[in-house]
Amino acid sequence: MYSKGMTTTPAHADLPLNIVGYVRVSTDKQDISPEVQRGELEREAKRMGYNLVIIEELAASAATISKRPKMQAMLAELKAKKYHGLMVSKLDRLSRNMEDGTRVLADSQRQGWRIICLDLGVDTATIMGAGMYNMALNFAEIERKFIGARTSAAMQEKAAKGEHMGRTAVLPVETMLYIHQLKNEGKGLSLRKIADQLTTEGIQTATGKTWHASTVKAVLDSVTLANALEG
């Protein structure tokens, strides 16, 4: 039974729900493939009898929802009642950012549509589903802050010893977060492979020189990155 103010069932209960499935492919290439995401969405739609439309978007792992045009367009269509809900194979396909994630949930509840996360097994049309969604966002945020705190502590120790901290602070924060995702998402890339990928993608170092494993490590160990992760 759905809670008051959260019902997203069509006016005619015998009609299937129109669901938009969101497939996000991260630029690090170490992600769950679009084929796997599509397969999971299609199987669930068939099982539940949904009318499914899938939208695919290529976006950096650290990209907020405001920087994803296809996601923005999809949210506008949900607000306009074109769909009854949004479905993702994993919560992190929608957002890794707690602020973004809670804002989308609040919008869905206010506008009358649901979020379905297959990895969590939740549908936010229910009170329990919305609660589990929020809990998952909270745990992800806690983990992110723990990583940032450990990195910051390590950098403070290096500074106390007078060790060189590198010139990573002049890198855009988005680049630093992207490197962090390359290292930590999925199985993670080696420092050498991260350097190669950054070079291939034409992303410049702080000094405009070639990426090396040592350069990547300096970024991962930087105070600026630690502060961004804590932020």
Nearest residue to 91 via CA among 16, 40, 52: 40
Q: What type of residue is 171?
A: L
d(CA 220, CA 213): 11
Flag whether 62 is in a domain: yes
208 vs 138, more confident: 138
Q: Are residues 171 and 98 in the same domain?
A: no
Q: Are residues 22 and 133 in the same domain?
A: yes
Q: For the segment 173-203, what is each residue's pLDDT rounded down to a tens digit? A: 878 888 888 888 766 788 999 998 888 888 8
Highest mean pLDDT among 12-16, 130-134, 156-160: 130-134
Could you tell me the pLDDT band of residue 3, with boundaries at 50, 70 and 90?
A: very low
What phi, psi does 118 have (nearest 5°)?
A: -70, -35
Assigned token pair, 204: 């410049």
Domain range spanning residue 168? 164-230
pTM reported for the whole predicted model? 0.63
Q: Are residues 103 and 172 in the same domain?
A: no
Residue 41's pLDDT is 98
162 vs 23, more confident: 23
Within 10 angstroms of residue 220's Cβ, the number of other Cβ atoms is 19
Could you tell me the pLDDT band of residue 74, with boundaries at 50, 70 and 90?
A: very high
Task: Specify the number of domains making up the chain.
Answer: 2
Q: For the segment 94-108, what is each residue's pLDDT rounded down to a tens digit? A: 987 888 999 999 999
Flag whether 9 is in a domain: no
| Mean pLDDT score across all residues of the chain | 83
Q: What angle, 0 to 180 degrees and rounded to 10, lies between the N-to-C axes of helices 191-200 and 213-220?
A: 100
Q: Are residues 54 and 96 in the same domain?
A: yes
